[in-house]
Structure 1
Amino acid sequence: MRAARYYDNRDIRIEDIETPTVEPGTVGIDVAWCGICGSDLHEYVDGPIFIPPHGQPHPISGESAPVTLGHEMSGVVYEVGEGVEDVAVGDHVVVEPYIIDEDVDTGPDSNDYHLSPNMNFIGLGGRGGGLSEKIVVQRRWVHPVDKSVPLDEAALIEPLSVGAHAVERSRAKAGDVAIVGGAGPIGLLTSAVLKGIGVTVVISELSEIRRRKAIDSGVADHAFDPREVDVVEEVRKLTDGRGADIAFECTSVQVVLDTLMDALRPRGVLTVVSIWGHKGELDMQKLVLKEIDVRGTIAYVNTHPQTIKLVEEGKINLKPFITGKIGLDDLIDKGFDTLINHNETAVKILVSPSGKGL
Structure 2
Amino acid sequence: MRAVRYHGTRDIRVEGEVEEPVCGVGEVKIRPAFVGICGSDIHEYLHGPATVPCTPHPITGEQMSVTLGHEFSGTIIEIGEGMTKAKVGDRVAVKPNLFDGGCAACLGGWVNCRKNFGFVGFSGDAGGLSDYVVVKEKQAIRLPEGFPLNLGALVEPLTVAWHVVNHGSIQDARTALVVGAGPIGLAVLLVLKARGMESMVVTEISPERRELASTLGATHVLDPQTEDVVTKVCAMTGDAGADVAFECSAVQAGLDTAVKGIRARGTVTIVSLYGEKPVIDALGVVLREKHVAGAVIYEDGDFEAAIEAIWSGMSIST
Q: TM-score, normalization: structure 2?
A: 0.94
Residues 106 and 255 (structure 1 numbering): CA distance in 2 closer, same or farther, change over 3 Å? closer
SS in 2 for 1:77: strand
The 10-residue stretch of structure 1 (97-106 or 120-129) with the greater mean CA deviation from structure 2: 97-106
Task: Give the deviation of 1:36 after TM superposition.
Answer: 0.6
Match of 2:192 among 191, 194, 215: 194
SS in 2 for 1:170: coil
Checking the alignment, whether the CA contact within 8 Å between 2:242 and 2:263 is kept in structure 1 is yes
Residue ranges of structure 1 left out of the alignment (5+ in a row): 320-358
Task: Give the deviation of 1:137 after TM superposition.
Answer: 0.4
1:233-291 alpha-carbon deviations (Å, 9 max, x no partner)? 11111111100111111121111111112211111111110111221111222222222
Residues 141 and 104 (structure 1 numbering): CA distance in 2 closer, same or farther, change over 3 Å? farther
SS in 1 for 2:307: helix
1:86-143 alpha-carbon deviations (Å, 9 max, x no partner)? 1111111011101111557999x97401222213111111251111121100011110
SS in 1 for 2:193: helix
Q: Does 1:216 align with 2:215?
A: yes
Checking the alignment, whether the CA contact within 8 Å between 2:92 and 2:140 is kept in structure 1 is yes
SS in 1 for 2:49: coil
Residue 143 of structure 1: aligned partner: 141
SS in 2 for 1:43: helix
- Distance in structure 2 (CA, Å) of the matches to 1:95 and 1:297: 20
AA of the residue aligned to 1:268:
G
- Distance in structure 1 (CA, Å) of the matches to 2:58 and 2:150: 33
AA of the residue aligned to 2:259:
M
- Distance in structure 1 (CA, Å) of the matches to 2:286 and 2:101: 41
Checking the alignment, whether the CA contact within 8 Å between 1:182 and 1:250 is kept in structure 2 is yes
AA of the residue aligned to 1:10:
R
AA of the residue aligned to 1:81:
G
Residue 2 of structure 2: aligned partner: 2
Checking the alignment, whether the CA contact within 8 Å between 1:143 and 1:305 is kept in structure 2 is yes
Q: Does 1:86 align with 2:96?
A: no
Task: Give the deviation of 1:41 after TM superposition.
Answer: 1.6
Task: Give the deviation of 1:298 after TM superposition.
Answer: 0.8
Residue 304 of structure 1: aligned partner: 303
Residues 164 and 290 (structure 1 numbering): CA distance in 2 closer, same or farther, change over 3 Å? same
Q: Does 1:51 align with 2:52?
A: yes
Residue 348 of structure 1: aligned partner: none
Residues 34 and 279 (structure 1 numbering): CA distance in 2 closer, same or farther, change over 3 Å? same
Checking the alignment, whether the CA contact within 8 Å between 1:7 and 1:66 is kept in structure 2 is yes
Checking the alignment, whether the CA contact within 8 Å between 2:249 and 2:272 is kept in structure 1 is yes
Q: Does 1:264 align with 2:262?
A: yes
AA of the residue aligned to 2:11:
D
Q: Does 1:236 align with 2:234?
A: yes
SS in 1 for 2:167: helix
AA of the residue aligned to 2:57:
H
Q: TM-score, normalization: structure 1?
A: 0.84
Residue 14 of structure 1: aligned partner: 14
- Distance in structure 1 (CA, Å) of the matches to 2:316 and 2:146: 13
AA of the residue aligned to 2:228:
D
Match of 1:289 among 271, 281, 287: 287
Checking the alignment, whether the CA contact within 8 Å between 1:149 and 1:311 is kept in structure 2 is no
- Distance in structure 1 (CA, Å) of the matches to 2:71 and 2:103: 23
1:151-189 alpha-carbon deviations (Å, 9 max, x no partner)? 111111100110011111112125431101111110011
- Distance in structure 2 (CA, Å) of the matches to 1:66 and 1:234: 48
Residue 274 of structure 1: aligned partner: 272
1:309-334 alpha-carbon deviations (Å, 9 max, x no partner)? 00111211336xxxxxxxxxxxxxxx
- Distance in structure 2 (CA, Å) of the matches to 1:246 and 1:94: 30
Which of structures 1 and 2 has the larger relative contact order (alpha carbons within 8 angstroms, sep 6+)? 1
AA of the residue aligned to 2:3:
A
Q: Percent identity?
A: 42
Checking the alignment, whether the CA contact within 8 Å between 1:164 and 1:307 is kept in structure 2 is yes
Checking the alignment, whether the CA contact within 8 Å between 1:3 and 1:133 is kept in structure 2 is yes
Residues 242 and 111 (structure 1 numbering): CA distance in 2 closer, same or farther, change over 3 Å? farther
